[in-house]
Amino acid sequence: MRILITGGAGFIGSHLTDRLVADGHQITILDNLATGRKENLSAHLGGSSVSFIEGSILDLPLLDGLIKDTEYVFHLAAAVGVFNIVNHPLESLMTNIRGTENVLESAHKYSKPVFVTSSSEVYGKNISDSLKESDDRILGAPVTLRWSYSEAKAIDESLAYAYWVEKKLETRIVRFFNTVGPRQLGAYGMVVPRFVQFALKNEPITVYGNGEQTRCFGHVLDAVDAVVRIAFAENTIGKVINIGNDFEISINDLARKVIEQTNSKSEIVYVPYEEAYGDGFEDMERRVPNIELIKSLVGWVPKSDLSTMISDIAQFIQSK
Ligand code: UDP
């Protein structure tokens, strides 16, 4: 298949590219290299399976031409990372709302199936034991900038769903829970690569808040396998589907585990949220996915455990 991946030079996008190339597809990547890196595609650049175009999803004529020429669109381009969102809220909103609008408009014009990537951030402060796709969203004030990412991704979901319901455009929507692995950068906030990076240098590990907040981390290769299964199944059209691993860990325990696993001498240092993210920041205490839907639709379950994720990230950092 001729496939377009927006954001294909990014963390998840580049792993998806690896997989789709291995499956024999012909890939075009559109990426503005805001957080993506050409280096992530080094195995493919100059080869015959991948063409790379540096550009933005906000450039409608460029995007429109690429979508016209493709058979399937994976839309992964987005402004990501909590640091990035709170420091560049306007650009993030434009990219994440207008960019997706552009993708869906062109896909509709040429009747091309679109795979839309959303986020567990849409659940906001809902701390239920097991977040199901139909669960309520609980958000803080719109001017608490952290929530602008949640707002944008929720609009993307509603738009994609409306295109399916009203126009019969083939759309599939997934919500990634915390996804980690090689190539992810700590610079935009993501906790696991940050902790591993600090641990390997025996530098202090910074835990924000009291560290009792929890997350569930999934391996990027598991996530990519989920994406491919969902993308090419018939029973997933028009659906919103969680992708994540339901093993829950506190940030304190994560810090201790990373230190132990990397034989590090790092100390744990507590940093107030305001210092890390600026005034008025709100974190979520907990975020656990329910993964019954993906299991029942495509038979996917996560395979990698947190120790594997940490060692894969450590190996990647050490290889640089
Ligand atoms: N976090 C931390 N230290 C860091 C980076 C993040 O304690 O150096 C915390 C962050 O406040 C949050 C959790 O780790 O409670 C996960 O953060 P991340 O940005 O990776 O994901 P998200 O908040 O989007 O789930």
- Return the DSSP state at 146: T
Q: Which atom of ligand 1 is nearest to the CA of 208?
A: 7
275 domain residue, yes or no: no
Quickly count: other Cβ atoms within 10 Å of residue 103's Cβ. 29
- Residues with a catalytic annotation lie at 149
Mean pLDDT within 262-291? 94
Q: For residues 82 and 284, give the distance between their C-alpha atoms in angstroms, rounded to a whole number.
A: 12
Q: Say which DSSP state 137 is in.
A: P
Residue 277: inside a domain, yes or no?
A: no
**Beta-strand runs (E) in 87-167:** 114-119
Lowest mean pLDDT among 64-78, 90-104, 184-198, 299-313: 184-198
Label residue 320 by pLDDT band (50, 70, 90): confident
- Give the count of domains, the chain: 1
Percent of the chain surpassing pLDDT 90: 95
Residue 115: beta bridge partners?
Answer: 74, 172
Residue 273 pLDDT level (bands cut at 50, 70, 90): very high
The verdict on residue 40 lying in a domain is yes
CATH of the domain at 123: 3.40.50.720
Strands 214-216 vs 248-250: parallel, antiparallel or unpaired: antiparallel
Query: What domain range includes position 237?
Result: 2-177+220-244+289-303
Which residue is closest in CA terms to ligand 1's atom 5? Answer: 191
Q: What are phi and psi of 174, to 5 degrees?
A: -120, 150
- Residue-wise pLDDT tens digits, 52-90: 999 999 999 999 999 999 999 999 999 999 889 999 999
Tell me, using a 6 A CB cutoff, whether residue 178 lines ligand 1: yes
9: three-class secondary structure by DSSP: coil
pTM for this prediction:
0.97
Centre of ligand 1 to C-alpha 297, Å, is: 31
Is pLDDT at 278 greater than 90 in this prediction?
Answer: no
215 lines ligand 1 (CB under 6 A): yes
Residue 36 lies in a domain: yes
Q: What is the pLDDT of residues 87-133, one digit of tens each?
A: 999 999 999 999 999 999 999 999 999 999 999 999 999 999 999 99
For residue 186, pLDDT beyond 90: no
Give, for 37, the enclosing helix (H) or strand (E).
none
Q: Is residue 131 part of a domain?
A: yes
Residue 107 lies in a domain: yes
pLDDT at 8: 98
pLDDT tens for 148-179 read: 999 999 999 999 999 999 999 999 999 999 99
**Is the pLDDT assigned to residue 223 strictly greater than 90?**
yes
Instruction: With cut-offs at 50, 70 and 90, classify the pLDDT of residue 267.
Output: very high
By CB atoms closer than 10 A (0-12, 13-18, 19+), residue 163 is: buried
Measure 176 CA to ligand 1 centroid, in angstroms: 15
pLDDT value, residue 188? 82
pLDDT at 280 over 90: no
Please choose from 80, 82, 192 the residue to mutate so as to test ligand 1's pocket, defined by most ligand atoms within 8 A of CB.
82
Task: Please tell me if the CB atom of residue 213 comes closer than 6 angstroms to any atom of ligand 1.
Answer: yes
Any domain includes 225: yes
In a domain, 213, yes or no: no
Is residue 153 lining ligand 1, measured as CB closer than 6 Å?
no
